[in-house]
Amino acid sequence: MTNLRAAHIKKRYAAERRFKMYGLLAIMFALGFLAIMLVTITFRALPAFSQTYVKVDIEFSENVIDPDGAREKVQIAKADFQKIVRDGIYALFPEVTNRKEKRKLKKLISSEAGYHIARVLLADDQPDFEFIGTKQSVWVKSSDDIDSFIKGLIRRDVDESRRRVNDQQIGWVDQLMADGRIEKRFNWDFFKFGDSRSPEDAGIRGAVVGSFFTLIITLLLSFPLGVLAAVYLEEYSKPSKMTAFIEVNINNLAAVPSIVFGLLGLALFLNFFGMPRSAPLVGGMVLSLMTLPTIIITTRAALKSVPPSIREAALGIGASKMQTVLHHVLPLAMPGALTGAIIGMARALGETAPLLMIGMVAFIVDVPTGFTDPSTVLPVQIYIWADSPERAFEAKMSAAILVLLFFLVIMNAIAVLLRRRYERRW
């Protein structure tokens, strides 16, 4: 009998231990997934932070650049710098004469290299034209395939037909390396350039600036509106059918799928009001509608936590309702409201789908300079690159994700700090 009972208790305890373990396993699964995801993305991002350069001896022959000898910037900017760079790389391997091979050889360096050289040389308003007629060693970017090869992403031991760099090109690269003509540098251009069709020139500057403009609009619209609405609902309104209706609306808006807001933006802002497509202005308006419920809900919670004695004291010495709220209650609730705003902004920063609907998915090279310039935002940039066939964009995407997560971490850290620093317990 006692044995039976002991066995039973043992079984129950075993069940208890198992049950507890399931819980721990569940948490570990979730956290493990998070860790694996972040580590994978970080490792995939590493190649994007460096860029391979090739040293090419370029002859800036006067015949090609400035045949008239007029030394005019506008004319020279139109010159065929691409040809000069091409000739430079051909000169490194004089033995290559076959057209087909020459084309392969040309593909060692970035297809945009000539434009870059022209831009650097002609950067000033009054550039000195001393470079014309000289021969100089210039470091130019390699093409994305060679870059991937140098970084080991394209492996030698794979069958030639299955890799994008053929044996001959590898031979050239080896020779260049032996001559010390290949160098890896930190890829500052990733932070300086806008989007580009060639991965070696693609950067996130345009997307970051676009995100910045969009978030400014979102903040300017949603924060005042959200705080005022919260004050009305918490301090002014009496329980009525209308207040209840407003509250139901706010709660529902918080749960509406984001893509539906995109449909709203498309149908209302773009088609009905005729606002510009792809503009941070419209993006910010759509996102502010999405963040509004978050801000209202958190601000209301913050207002609720201000003790009634503060209000009573203010009203007691003759302050008006508005004075009570603006001078006393709202300042005390401000840290809470700001925390809510930052969390809402963080969510808006990561939002993609509604912005795709209002056309922020366009391919835009220029960095936007205003609220109505066509632009894109960071998460959409990631999505655009995900659609590109070039393998090198994979690293760019991961790097862009890291930048996005970096901004999110900062915003959330500010929110936590605000809460820690200013939260008062009454």
Partner 1 sequence: MSYLTLFAFLICTIIIGYFIGNRRAVGMRPAVKSKLPENKLHSLPGFHGTYVALWCGIPSLLLLFAWLFLEPSILSAMLGNALGDAGIGLSQDQLELLKGSIRRAAQNSQNPIDDTLLPVVESYKNIVNSTGIGGMVVIGCGAIIGLYFSQKKIAQRFAARHRVEKIFSIIMLLSSLVAVLTTFGVVVSLIFETIRFFGMVSFTEFLFGLHWSPQIALRDDQVASSGSFGAVPIFAGTLLITAIAMVIAVPIGLFSAIYMSEYASPRFRSWAKPLLEILAGIPTVVYGFFAALSVAPMLRNWGVDFGLEISSESALAAGVVMGVMIIPFVSSLSDDVINAVPQSLRDGSYALGATRGETIKLVLLPAALPGIVSSVLLATSRAIGETMIVVMAAGLAANLTANPFQAVTTVTVQILTLLVGDQEFDSPKTLAAFALGFVLFIITLCLNILALKIVNKYREKYD
In the window 212-231, what residues touch partner 1 (CB under 8 A)?
224-226, 228-229, 231
β-pair partners for 52: 184
β-pair partners for 135: 59
Residue 398 makes contact with partner 1 by CB under 8 A: yes
Residue 6 makes contact with partner 1 by CB under 8 A: no
Work out which of 6, 7, 8, 15 binds partner 1, going by CB under 8 A.
15
By beta-carbon proximity to partner 1, the closer residue of 60 and 261 is 261
Following DSSP, what letter does each residue of 312-372 receive, concatenated?
HHHHHTT--HHHIIIIIIHHHHHHHHHHHHHHHHHHHHH--HHHHHTTTTS---SPP-STT
Binding to partner 1 (CB under 8 A) within 228-267 occurs at: 228-229, 231-233, 236-237, 245-246, 249-253, 255-261, 263-264, 266-267
Q: Minimum CB separation from partner 1 for residue 73, in Å?
A: 14
Alpha-carbon distance of 328 to 310, in angstroms, equals 7
Following DSSP, what letter does each residue of 150-172 receive, concatenated?
HTTSS-TTS-GGGSSS-HHHHHH
Binding to partner 1 (CB under 8 A) within 360-379 occurs at: 361, 379
Binding to partner 1 (CB under 8 A) within 180-199 occurs at: none
**Residue 358 phi, psi (nearest 5):** -95, 20
Work out which of 6, 34, 220, 410 binds partner 1, going by CB under 8 A.
34
Q: Minimum CB separation from partner 1 for residue 184, in Å?
A: 24
| Residue 99 in tokens | 């057209």
Q: Minimum CB separation from partner 1 for residue 289, in Å?
A: 5
Q: Minimum CB separation from partner 1 for residue 52, in Å?
A: 23
Following DSSP, what letter does each residue of 375-395 receive, concatenated?
---HHHHHHHHHT---THHHH
Q: Is 305 exposed, middle or buried (0-12, 13-18, 19+ CB in 10 A)?
A: middle
Residue 276 makes contact with partner 1 by CB under 8 A: yes
Residue 404 makes contact with partner 1 by CB under 8 A: yes
Q: Minimum CB separation from partner 1 for residue 412, in Å?
A: 7
Residues 6 or more apart whose CB falls under 8 angstroms from that of 200 comprise 51, 110, 112, 141, 142, 143, 144, 147, 392
Q: Minimum CB separation from partner 1 for residue 247, in Å?
A: 9
Residue 268 makes contact with partner 1 by CB under 8 A: yes
The region of 54-62, 166-174, 304-312, 397-405 touching partner 1 under the rule CB under 8 A is: 397-405
In this structure, are residues 176 and 346 in contact, taking their beta carbons and an 8 Å threshold?
no
Q: First-to-last CA distance in the chain?
A: 59
Work out which of 79, 282, 296, 403 binds partner 1, going by CB under 8 A.
296
The region of 27-35, 120-128, 211-219, 327-335 touching partner 1 under the rule CB under 8 A is: 27-35
Alpha-carbon distance of 308 to 311, in angstroms, equals 5
Work out which of 313, 320, 363, 417 binds partner 1, going by CB under 8 A.
320
Work out which of 132, 315, 405, 414 binds partner 1, going by CB under 8 A.
405
Q: Minimum CB separation from partner 1 for residue 36, in Å?
A: 8
Binding to partner 1 (CB under 8 A) within 37-56 occurs at: 37, 40-41, 44
Residue 13 makes contact with partner 1 by CB under 8 A: yes
The residue to which tokens 């960095």 are assigned:
367
Work out which of 346, 367, 392, 403 binds partner 1, going by CB under 8 A.
346
Residue 64 makes contact with partner 1 by CB under 8 A: no
Residue 394 makes contact with partner 1 by CB under 8 A: yes
| Sign of CA pseudo-dihedral 71, 77, 81, 83 | negative
Query: By C-alpha distance, which of 232, 257, 425 is closest to 353?
Result: 257
By beta-carbon proximity to partner 1, the closer residue of 61 and 372 is 372
Query: By C-alpha distance, which of 141, 165, 169, 142 is closest to 153?
Result: 165
Query: By C-alpha distance, which of 403, 411, 426 is closest to 203?
Result: 403
67 CB neighbour count, 10 Å cutoff:
11
Number of chain residues interacting with partner 1 (CB under 8 A) = 87
Q: Minimum CB separation from partner 1 for residue 92, in Å?
A: 36
Residue 357 makes contact with partner 1 by CB under 8 A: yes
The region of 144-152, 177-185, 187-195, 289-297 touching partner 1 under the rule CB under 8 A is: 289-297
